[in-house]
Protein backbone atom coordinates (compact mmCIF):
# COMPACT_ATOMS: atom_id res chain seq x y z
CA UNK A 1 0.00 0.00 0.00
CA UNK A 2 1.29 3.45 -0.93
CA UNK A 3 -0.10 6.87 -0.01
CA UNK A 4 0.93 10.19 -1.53
CA UNK A 5 3.59 12.28 0.18
CA UNK A 6 2.34 15.49 1.86
CA UNK A 7 2.33 18.38 -0.59
CA UNK A 8 4.84 20.27 1.53
CA UNK A 9 7.51 17.64 0.96
CA UNK A 10 7.91 18.35 -2.76
CA UNK A 11 8.92 21.46 -4.64
CA UNK A 12 6.35 24.05 -5.70
CA UNK A 13 5.41 25.02 -9.27
CA UNK A 14 8.34 27.44 -9.49
CA UNK A 15 10.75 24.74 -8.36
CA UNK A 16 11.25 26.43 -4.98
CA UNK A 17 11.88 24.11 -2.12
CA UNK A 18 9.22 24.07 0.59
CA UNK A 19 10.08 25.24 4.08
CA UNK A 20 8.55 22.05 5.45
CA UNK A 21 10.99 19.35 6.56
CA UNK A 22 12.04 17.18 3.64
CA UNK A 23 11.25 13.52 4.01
CA UNK A 24 12.99 10.70 2.20
CA UNK A 25 10.71 8.79 -0.19
CA UNK A 26 12.59 5.79 -1.47
CA UNK A 27 11.36 3.83 -4.51
CA UNK A 28 9.02 1.02 -3.41
CA UNK A 29 8.93 -2.32 -5.30
CA UNK A 30 5.71 -2.82 -7.25
CA UNK A 31 4.30 -5.87 -9.01
CA UNK A 32 0.92 -5.63 -10.71
CA UNK A 33 -1.42 -7.47 -13.03
CA UNK A 34 -3.25 -5.02 -15.24
CA UNK A 35 -4.47 -3.93 -18.62
CA UNK A 36 -2.64 -1.44 -20.81
CA UNK A 37 -5.01 1.38 -21.79
CA UNK A 38 -2.79 3.77 -23.76
CA UNK A 39 0.83 3.92 -24.93
CA UNK A 40 2.89 7.04 -25.67
CA UNK A 41 6.28 6.71 -27.41
CA UNK A 42 8.37 9.55 -25.99
CA UNK A 43 11.73 8.54 -27.47
CA UNK A 44 13.37 5.52 -29.05
CA UNK A 45 14.07 4.01 -25.64
CA UNK A 46 11.29 5.64 -23.61
CA UNK A 47 7.58 4.80 -23.48
CA UNK A 48 4.85 6.00 -21.13
CA UNK A 49 1.82 3.72 -20.73
CA UNK A 50 -1.26 3.76 -18.52
CA UNK A 51 -2.19 0.64 -16.55
CA UNK A 52 -5.71 -0.24 -15.41
CA UNK A 53 -7.21 -3.16 -13.46
CA UNK A 54 -7.73 -6.35 -15.51
CA UNK A 55 -11.49 -5.78 -15.84
CA UNK A 56 -11.19 -2.26 -17.25
CA UNK A 57 -12.84 -1.97 -20.66
CA UNK A 58 -10.93 -0.26 -23.47
CA UNK A 59 -12.45 -1.75 -26.64
CA UNK A 60 -15.56 0.49 -26.58
CA UNK A 61 -13.52 3.71 -26.88
CA UNK A 62 -12.20 5.26 -30.09
CA UNK A 63 -8.93 7.16 -30.33
CA UNK A 64 -5.92 7.14 -28.01
CA UNK A 65 -6.70 10.61 -26.63
CA UNK A 66 -10.25 9.52 -25.70
CA UNK A 67 -8.92 6.46 -23.91
CA UNK A 68 -6.38 8.45 -21.91
CA UNK A 69 -8.88 11.17 -21.01
CA UNK A 70 -11.45 8.69 -19.73
CA UNK A 71 -8.81 6.69 -17.88
CA UNK A 72 -7.58 9.78 -16.02
CA UNK A 73 -11.17 10.74 -15.20
CA UNK A 74 -12.09 7.25 -13.98
CA UNK A 75 -8.97 6.82 -11.80
CA UNK A 76 -9.73 3.07 -11.71
CA UNK A 77 -7.25 2.04 -9.01
CA UNK A 78 -7.73 2.52 -5.28
CA UNK A 79 -4.91 3.04 -2.80
CA UNK A 80 -4.77 0.34 -0.14
CA UNK A 81 -3.23 2.90 2.21
CA UNK A 82 -5.72 5.78 2.23
CA UNK A 83 -8.65 4.33 0.27
CA UNK A 84 -8.69 7.12 -2.33
CA UNK A 85 -8.85 6.69 -6.10
CA UNK A 86 -5.69 6.87 -8.20
CA UNK A 87 -4.24 5.91 -11.55
CA UNK A 88 -0.95 4.33 -12.60
CA UNK A 89 1.48 5.47 -15.27
CA UNK A 90 4.23 3.07 -16.30
CA UNK A 91 7.57 4.51 -17.37
CA UNK A 92 9.42 2.03 -19.56
CA UNK A 93 12.83 3.49 -20.22
CA UNK A 94 16.45 3.10 -19.15
CA UNK A 95 15.84 0.54 -16.38
CA UNK A 96 13.91 -1.73 -18.74
CA UNK A 97 16.01 -1.17 -21.86
CA UNK A 98 19.39 -1.64 -20.17
CA UNK A 99 18.39 -5.21 -19.30
CA UNK A 100 18.00 -6.07 -23.00
CA UNK A 101 20.31 -6.23 -25.96
CA UNK A 102 20.11 -3.16 -28.22
CA UNK A 103 18.46 -5.13 -31.02
CA UNK A 104 15.75 -6.42 -28.63
CA UNK A 105 14.56 -3.06 -27.26
CA UNK A 106 12.39 -1.90 -30.15
CA UNK A 107 10.56 -5.21 -30.47
CA UNK A 108 9.95 -5.45 -26.73
CA UNK A 109 8.50 -1.94 -26.50
CA UNK A 110 6.18 -2.64 -29.44
CA UNK A 111 4.52 -5.46 -27.48
CA UNK A 112 2.96 -2.84 -25.22
CA UNK A 113 -0.39 -2.38 -26.92
CA UNK A 114 -3.71 -1.02 -25.57
CA UNK A 115 -6.01 -3.72 -24.26
CA UNK A 116 -3.35 -6.33 -23.55
CA UNK A 117 -3.15 -7.90 -20.10
CA UNK A 118 0.35 -7.75 -18.65
CA UNK A 119 2.23 -8.66 -15.50
CA UNK A 120 4.50 -5.77 -14.60
CA UNK A 121 7.42 -5.42 -12.19
CA UNK A 122 9.03 -2.16 -11.19
CA UNK A 123 9.31 0.46 -8.47
CA UNK A 124 7.21 3.46 -7.48
CA UNK A 125 9.32 6.52 -8.21
CA UNK A 126 8.14 8.82 -5.43
CA UNK A 127 11.38 10.63 -4.55
CA UNK A 128 10.48 14.37 -4.42
CA UNK A 129 14.07 15.54 -4.88
CA UNK A 130 14.19 15.28 -8.66
CA UNK A 131 15.37 18.02 -10.98
CA UNK A 132 11.98 18.77 -12.55
CA UNK A 133 10.24 20.04 -9.41
CA UNK A 134 6.44 19.81 -9.48
CA UNK A 135 6.62 18.01 -12.82
CA UNK A 136 8.37 15.00 -11.29
CA UNK A 137 6.82 11.79 -10.04
CA UNK A 138 6.45 13.06 -6.48
CA UNK A 139 4.49 16.07 -7.69
CA UNK A 140 2.32 13.93 -9.97
CA UNK A 141 1.44 11.70 -7.04
CA UNK A 142 0.78 14.52 -4.58
CA UNK A 143 -1.32 16.64 -6.94
CA UNK A 144 -2.83 14.29 -9.51
CA UNK A 145 -2.95 10.93 -7.70
CA UNK A 146 -0.83 9.58 -10.58
CA UNK A 147 1.55 6.87 -9.41
CA UNK A 148 4.57 6.68 -11.70
CA UNK A 149 6.12 3.21 -11.80
CA UNK A 150 9.58 2.70 -13.27
CA UNK A 151 9.18 -0.65 -15.04
CA UNK A 152 12.01 -3.17 -14.86
CA UNK A 153 10.23 -5.96 -16.74
CA UNK A 154 6.81 -7.03 -18.02
CA UNK A 155 5.18 -10.07 -19.58
CA UNK A 156 2.26 -9.99 -22.01
CA UNK A 157 -0.29 -12.56 -20.83
CA UNK A 158 -3.33 -12.08 -23.08
CA UNK A 159 -4.40 -10.17 -26.17
CA UNK A 160 -7.10 -7.51 -25.91
CA UNK A 161 -9.78 -9.72 -27.50
CA UNK A 162 -9.01 -12.54 -25.08
CA UNK A 163 -9.35 -10.21 -22.10
CA UNK A 164 -12.73 -8.97 -23.38
CA UNK A 165 -13.95 -12.56 -23.64
CA UNK A 166 -12.81 -13.35 -20.10
CA UNK A 167 -14.60 -10.27 -18.77
CA UNK A 168 -17.81 -11.38 -20.47
CA UNK A 169 -17.47 -14.94 -19.22
CA UNK A 170 -16.42 -14.21 -15.66
CA UNK A 171 -17.99 -10.80 -15.11
CA UNK A 172 -19.94 -11.88 -12.03
CA UNK A 173 -16.81 -13.13 -10.27
CA UNK A 174 -15.24 -9.66 -10.57
CA UNK A 175 -17.47 -8.56 -7.68
CA UNK A 176 -15.04 -10.27 -5.31
CA UNK A 177 -12.19 -7.90 -6.20
CA UNK A 178 -10.69 -6.38 -3.02
CA UNK A 179 -11.85 -2.79 -3.48
CA UNK A 180 -15.41 -3.91 -4.21
CA UNK A 181 -15.45 -6.11 -1.11
CA UNK A 182 -14.20 -3.15 0.92
CA UNK A 183 -16.97 -0.93 -0.47
CA UNK A 184 -19.63 -3.49 0.43
CA UNK A 185 -18.24 -3.87 3.94
CA UNK A 186 -18.16 -0.12 4.45
CA UNK A 187 -21.72 0.21 3.19
CA UNK A 188 -22.79 -2.71 5.37
CA UNK A 189 -21.22 -1.05 8.39
CA UNK A 190 -23.09 2.18 7.72
CA UNK A 191 -26.39 0.33 7.30
CA UNK A 192 -25.78 -1.63 10.49
CA UNK A 193 -25.16 1.59 12.43
CA UNK A 194 -28.34 3.13 11.07
CA UNK A 195 -30.38 0.03 11.95
CA UNK A 196 -28.96 -0.02 15.48
CA UNK A 197 -29.83 3.65 15.98
CA UNK A 198 -33.38 3.07 14.72
CA UNK A 199 -33.73 0.15 17.16
CA UNK A 200 -32.51 2.31 20.03
CA UNK A 201 -35.01 5.06 19.14
CA UNK A 202 -37.87 2.52 18.94
CA UNK A 203 -37.02 1.04 22.33
CA UNK A 204 -37.31 4.46 23.98
CA UNK A 205 -40.68 5.30 22.47
The DSSP secondary structure of 71-133, one letter per residue, reads: HHHH-BEE-TTT--EEEEEEEESHHHHTTS-HHHHHHHHHT--TT-EEEEEEEE---S--TTG
State residue 80's pLDDT score.
77
Four-point Cα dihedral 96, 100, 106, 111, nearest 10: -70
The reply to whether the predicted model has a pTM over 0.75 is no
Contact 23, 5 (CB under 8 A): yes
Q: How far apart are CA 196 and CA 75, in angstroms?
A: 34
The number of CA neighbours under 13 Å toward the Cβ of 1 is 11
Partner residues linked to 88 by β-bridges: 51, 147
Contact 88, 77 (CB under 8 A): yes
The number of CA neighbours under 13 Å toward the Cβ of 205 is 6
pLDDT, one tens digit for every residue, the chain (205 residues): 455 555 444 444 444 444 343 455 567 889 999 999 999 999 999 999 999 999 888 765 556 667 777 777 788 898 877 888 898 999 999 999 999 999 999 999 999 999 999 999 998 865 555 544 445 677 677 778 888 899 999 999 999 999 888 888 876 655 555 555 556 666 665 455 545 545 554 555 5
Partner residues linked to 28 by β-bridges: 124
Amino acid sequence: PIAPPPAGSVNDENNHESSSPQESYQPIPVTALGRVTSVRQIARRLVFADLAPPDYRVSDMSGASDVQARYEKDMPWRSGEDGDDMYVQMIIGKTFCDALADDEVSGALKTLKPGRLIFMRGAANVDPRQKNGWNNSGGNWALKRSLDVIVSSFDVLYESEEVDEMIKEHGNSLDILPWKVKNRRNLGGVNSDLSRKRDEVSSHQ
